[in-house]
Structure 1
């Protein structure tokens, strides 16, 4: 007996995706900080407009030595 098998190939018209994300993590070099900083408040602010919601962030930051 002979078996008939069919195989389907993926379309080769574009790049294959390998997951999402924000890109590759890069090695950061430690730099000497001249000032210290402290985040006091971080808030997400939503403003409702005619076309939907507009999101922004608000931050209270203290910088000093």
Structure 2
């Protein structure tokens, strides 16, 4: 691995570790936004919004998508 590649990898890792996990208030707000988008633009748009918003926290994504789908039922 070249020196520049190692430096870039270190930068990528440090950027990822700077993000804190979102709190419940943020997640509830995100759910409300995704629900509204689903109503107005279709279910796929709401899901895509959720995926884009939680891309930094992939472990939360599946759970939040399940909540979004349950709220539609």
- TM-score norm. by structure 1 comes to 0.23
- Structure with more strand by fraction: 1
- Structure with more helix by fraction: 2
- Greater gyration radius: 1
- TM-score norm. by structure 2 comes to 0.21
